[in-house]
């Protein structure tokens, strides 16, 4: 379990993190969201014991990060922001070094080394110095380091930054695989990632938690939650359609994207308008290319909350 209580970090000029309190249980994948400079990295660094909090407490698996730093770190796999490494080391020697510091021995050591090399596809670069690797490989070396000792808690600061779509997918699959048995905290500013892998999202802005919910619930805060979007086959019907949609009692407003001949009808609070819109389209003889119900737009919620 991860627990923080009123965690604060103040620097002489700025307050980086203010009064951050949350708990994470095994099985949860927590996504840390927020604009750059909002305090995500500082919070994660405090959890990892790298930055000392100005006030408040944090614990990992019931080990306070200040009072029992070694026990806390043993339960933790941590990928720092930017995945810093010893550039002159070869990948294999680096992984051996980590395995040594993690006190892995014998068969388990061999198995873990094999597992991370296989899982993060590092076999082809084992004998290369880390500084000569591409950004994606370096990130994977950092991830390999973090999961080496199969820790119960993983804190990953932007694990997919710099990876191509295939590698991103690989990392997400890895996170999903590990999710059931572990606590995983990731930070990201890629919103689709939150929807894809996280069971819970905390949004931080200016050092404070401004939202703490499941990605689905967060999306439902969007103006676009349960909105109906339709694309017309014939652009000349656009104006008729707009007028007709605006006439529906349950429709709050209609948005228009002329280039795509697309209309989006936003419902009044709580209303379900899909049936009405579909009926209207048939009645007005609109030729539809597409009709769908939106679950909400995370990016719009993100902008509204953090602005």
Partner 1 sequence: MRNVALILRRELASYFATPLAYVFIIIFLVLANAFTFYVGAFYQRGQADLRPFFMFHPWLYLFLIPALTMKLWAEERKSGSIELLMTLPVKAWEAVLGKYLAAWLFTALALALTFPIWITVNYLGSPDNGVIFASYLGSLLLAGGFLAIGSCMSALTRNQVVAFILGVVACFVLLLAGYPMVLDSFRGWAPETLTEAIASLSLLTHFQSITRGVLELRDVLYFVMLIGFFLFTTTVAVDLRKAD
Residues that bind partner 1 (CB under 8 A): 45, 48-52, 70, 73-74, 76, 78, 80-82, 84-89, 93, 97-98, 100-102, 129, 145
Q: Which of 44, 281 has the CB closer to partner 1?
A: 44
List CB contacts of 219: < 8 A, sequence separation 6 or more: 195, 225, 295, 296, 297, 298, 301
Q: What's the closest the beta carbon of residue 98 comes to partner 1, in angstroms?
A: 7
CB of 287 to partner 1, least distance (A): 57
Considering the complex, what minimum distance in angstroms separates the CB of residue 93 from partner 1?
7
55 SS3 class: strand
- Minimum CB distance to partner 1, residue 151 (Å): 11
46 vs 265, beta carbon nearer partner 1: 46
CA distances from 266 to 99, 136, 228, 248 (A): 55, 41, 7, 11
21 versus 74: smaller Cβ distance to partner 1: 74
The CA distance from 143 to 137, in Å, is 10
**Least separation in angstroms between CB 247 and partner 1:** 59
Sequence-separated contacts (24+) of 87-91 with Cβ below 8 Å: 87/129, 87/130, 87/131, 88/129, 88/130, 88/131, 89/129, 89/130, 90/126, 90/127, 90/128, 90/129, 90/130, 91/122, 91/125, 91/126, 91/127, 91/128, 91/130, 91/133, 91/141
Give the shortest CB-45-to-partner 1 separation in angstroms. 6
For partner 1, give the closer residue by CB, 142 or 215: 142
Of 4 and 237, which CB lies nearer to partner 1 in the complex structure? 4
Kindly tell me which of 73 and 221 has the beta carbon lying closer to partner 1. Answer: 73
Q: Is 72 exposed, middle or buried (0-12, 13-18, 19+ CB in 10 A)?
A: buried
């Amino acid at each position: 379990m991860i627990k923080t209580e009123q965690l604060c970090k103040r620097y002489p000029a700025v307050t980086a993190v203010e009064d951050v309190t949350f708990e994470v249980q095994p099985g949860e994948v927590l996504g840390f969201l927020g604009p750059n400079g909002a305090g995500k990295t500082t919070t994660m660094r405090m959890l990892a014991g790298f930055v000392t909090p100005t006030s408040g407490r944090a614990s990992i698996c019931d080990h306070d990060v200040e009072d029992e730093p070694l026990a806390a770190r043993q339960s933790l796999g941590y990928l720092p922001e930017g995945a810093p490494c010893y550039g002159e080391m070869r990948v294999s020697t680096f992984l051996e070094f980590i395995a040594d510091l993690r006190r892995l021995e014998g068969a388990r050591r061999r198995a873990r080394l094999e597992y991370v090399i296989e899982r993060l596809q590092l076999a082809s670069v084992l004998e290369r110095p880390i500084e000569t690797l591409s950004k994606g490989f370096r990130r994977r070396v950092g991830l390999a380091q973090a999961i080496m000792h199969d820790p119960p808690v993983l804190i990953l600061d932007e694990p997919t930054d710099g990876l191509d779509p295939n590698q991103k997918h690989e990392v997400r699959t890895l996170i999903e695989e590990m999710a059931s048995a572990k606590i995983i905290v990731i930070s990201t500013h890629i919103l689709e990632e939150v929807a894809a892998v996280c069971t819970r999202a905390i949004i931080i802005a200016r050092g404070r938690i401004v939202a703490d919910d499941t990605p689905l619930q967060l999306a439902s805060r969007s103006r676009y939650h349960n909105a109906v979007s339709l694309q017309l086959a014939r652009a000349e019907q656009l104006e008729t359609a707009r007028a007709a949609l605006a006439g529906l009692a349950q429709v709050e407003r209609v948005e228009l994207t002329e280039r795509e001949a697309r209309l989006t009808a936003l419902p009044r609070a709580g209303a379900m308008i899909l049936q009405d819109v579909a009926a209207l389209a048939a009645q007005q003889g609109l030729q539809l290319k597409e009709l769908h119900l939106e679950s909400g737009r995370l990016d719009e919620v993100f902008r509204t909350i953090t602005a």
